[in-house]
């Protein structure tokens, strides 16, 4: 039996869940509540000693790192070739996107966390302004690469006609920006029509699963919006 450890509030956990749902791969989600530090409990550390989600166990085999999990599932399950092509050169292009993600687009997570979640949800001291600004600059540079280089032809990454595991990992990161304040989200995605179109295409192509794995993030977005509005009300 395949078990996915994580939370659908975590971008890379969403990507793995989405891959399973899109390919009818049977799995169970073992919820790890990051806000309660469950990822540092001994039971989970036995599965991933680094204490990060996602992780899987597949019939007793433990594995961490989202990109590796996606590759592992793509080659151990019988799924259509477009997810992770057998052709070495096409596969290498997907691998390059997965590698690029970790050191570039993943900055989105740090920006959204320090700006919107660190204080409000995790009750930690607020991040320094310069730190948040530096994550923001890195995120914007990555979004520009996505818009101008990887999505030039569409509908999916690198002009593919069907999605790959890289589409899932990168898209589930970009959707974390739903947690930003509406004007910040507008400023980020408004001038990037290819990213917006790509997300819409993925959502309709992978319906209803894309929307299903995003329900928790939508709830957090609503919670944050209510909190901002009530702060505004009490200031009036």
Ligand X SMILES: N[C@@H](CCC(=O)N[C@@H](CS)C(=O)NCC(=O)O)C(=O)O
The binding site for ligand X (CB under 6 A) comprises 10-12, 34, 39, 52-54, 65-66, 102
Tell the residue number behind the tokens 């166990």, with chain if given: 57
CB of 162 to ligand X, least distance (A): 23
CB of 189 to ligand X, least distance (A): 21
Contact 136, 65 (CB under 8 A): no
E strands along the chain, which residues? Answer: 2-6, 28-31, 55-58, 61-64
User: How far apart are alpha carbons 138 and 105 in whole angstroms?
Assistant: 8
CB of 93 to ligand X, least distance (A): 19
Beta carbon nearer to ligand X, 48 or 155: 48
First to last CA, the chain: 54
Beta carbon nearer to ligand X, 100 or 155: 100
CB of 230 to ligand X, least distance (A): 27
What are the residues whose beta carbons fall under 8 Å from the beta carbon of 98, sequence distance 6 or more? 67, 70, 71, 165, 166, 169
């Amino acid at each position: 039996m395949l078990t996915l450890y994580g939370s659908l509030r975590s971008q890379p956990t969403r990507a793995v869940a989405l891959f399973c749902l899109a390919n009818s791969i049977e799995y169970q989600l073992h919820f790890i509540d990051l806000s309660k530090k469950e990822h540092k409990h001994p039971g989970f550390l036995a599965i991933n000693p680094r204490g990060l989600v996602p992780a899987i166990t597949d019939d007793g085999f433990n594995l961490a790192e989202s990109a590796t999990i996606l590759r592992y599932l793509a080659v151990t399950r019988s799924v259509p070739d477009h997810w992770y092509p057998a052709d070495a050169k096409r596969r290498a292009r997907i691998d390059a996107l997965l590698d690029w993600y970790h050191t570039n687009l993943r900055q989105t997570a740090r920006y959204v966390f320090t700006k919107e979640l660190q204080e409000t949800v995790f009750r930690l001291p607020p991040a320094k302004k310069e730190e948040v600004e530096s994550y923001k600059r890195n995120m914007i540079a990555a979004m520009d690469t996505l818009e101008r280089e990887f999505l030039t032809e569409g509908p999916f990454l690198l002009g593919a006609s069907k999605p790959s595991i890289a589409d899932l990992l990168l898209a589930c990161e970009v959707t974390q920006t739903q947690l930003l304040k509406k004007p910040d989200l507008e400023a980020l995605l408004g001038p990037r029509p290819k990213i917006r179109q790509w997300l819409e295409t993925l959502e309709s192509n992978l319906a209803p699963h894309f929307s299903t794995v995003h329900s928790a993030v939508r709830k957090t977005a609503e919670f944050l919006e209510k909190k901002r509005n009530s702060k505004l009300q009490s200031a009036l």
